[in-house]
Structure 1
Amino acid sequence: MKHLGTSIILKNPRNEVLLFLRDDKPEIPYPNLWDIPGGHFEAGETPEACIVREMMEEIETNVSACRRHSIYDFPDRIEYIFLMDFEAAAETIPLHEGQCLRWFAEEKIPWDNLAFGFEFVLRDYFAGRQRWDDDGEVQD
């Protein structure tokens, strides 16, 4: 069975997205690559509860106002993508995992240095596309 994950596209009024640079540790997947904030489900957790918990743990940010944007069926996992407007200077956001946070406009995203297949997610986001699961579960 595939594991379940959640990630969130935090976007500011300039239509930039917040990414974090993963730690440069050879024992972790995709070391030293850019990533969308997120994490893995705990037992019995809903996608919404997972993303809220993960963002409190990783960047001390309450994302309970986010909305589900898309669902991706990757070869290794099912990924629930959330979306939320957010404005803060990257250097003022506490970061408990990774090297740094940075805002990126679409044309500045390091497309060849993204972790976990998130280049597909971000290209869809900027193109205004949403992905749905087999049950048509994404709404809005």
Structure 2
Amino acid sequence: MQSDTTTAEEQAAAARGAVAIIINRRGELLLHLRDDLPNIAWANHWSVLGGGCDPGEAPADAIVRELDEEAGLTAENLTELFETRDEHGSGQIITFFSASWDGDETALPLAEGVKLQFFAPEHLDILTIPPFIRNGIHRYLAARPS
């Protein structure tokens, strides 16, 4: 028998999101400085672009929508990588994707957050990045051919 009500814990467990590790031809990663607002997870942290899936929306569709909504971005070679849970933030299961894009990030119409910027992988350690995003980036970089 299924209940008509779900707890916040059950909703968080079912919630899904999608993010994209976007890399340019120089091997730099596109990061997004999140707004410093009390009602968002990982406020004032550098992260990758992405967001929550709408009800019934597949992560692959969500990431295409989120990239367009947040930055007017259409990335090339979008590839699904792996899933992880944002244990200390939203609680969502997050699907990581990779993609390539070689444009000028300062020219993108940023609709959310403070800033977009490409960073060389060796400079990521000095940035404040959510742990699950940092782990996902390291996992991606470790598996990537040099």
Partner of 2:5: none
1:47 pairs with one of 48, 59, 67 = 59
Q: Which amino acid aligns with 1:73?
A: R
1:124 pairs with one of 126, 129, 139 = 139
Whole-angstrom distance in 2 between the partners of 1:5 and 1:46: 9
Partner of 1:29: 41
Partner of 2:128: 113
* Helix, strand or coil at the partner of 2:35: coil
Partner of 2:7: none
Query: Given the alignment of the two structures, is residue 86 of structure 1 paired with residue 101 of structure 2, yes or no?
Result: yes
* Percent identity over paired residues: 30
Whole-angstrom distance in 2 between the partners of 1:99 and 1:79: 22
Structure 1 unaligned segments of length 5 or more: list them.
130-140
Alpha-carbon contact 2:75-2:100 (below 8 Å) kept? no
TM-score, normalised via structure 1 length: 0.83
Q: Which runs of 4+ in 1 moved over 6 A?
A: none
Whole-angstrom distance in 1 between the partners of 2:125 and 2:112: 19
Whole-angstrom distance in 2 between the partners of 1:14 and 1:72: 27
**Cα displacement string for residues 88-140 of structure 1 (whole angstroms, at most 9, x for unaligned residues):** 111111110000000011111145510262110011111117xxxxxxxxxxx
Partner of 1:14: 26
Q: CA deviation at 1:27?
A: 2.9
Alpha-carbon contact 1:51-1:63 (below 8 Å) kept? no
Whole-angstrom distance in 2 between the partners of 1:118 and 1:72: 9
Q: CA deviation at 1:57?
A: 0.6
RMSD: 1.8
* Helix, strand or coil at the partner of 1:66: strand
Based on CA coordinates, which of the two structures has the bigger radius of gyration? 2
Alpha-carbon contact 1:34-1:110 (below 8 Å) kept? no
More helix, by proportion = 2
Partner of 2:92: 77
Partner of 1:137: none
Structure 2 unaligned segments of length 5 or more: list them.
1-9
The alignment of Structure 1 onto Structure 2 pairs a total of residues equal to: 129
Partner of 2:78: 66
In structure 2, relative to structure 1, the CA distance for the partners of 1:64 and 1:86 (3 Å cut) is closer
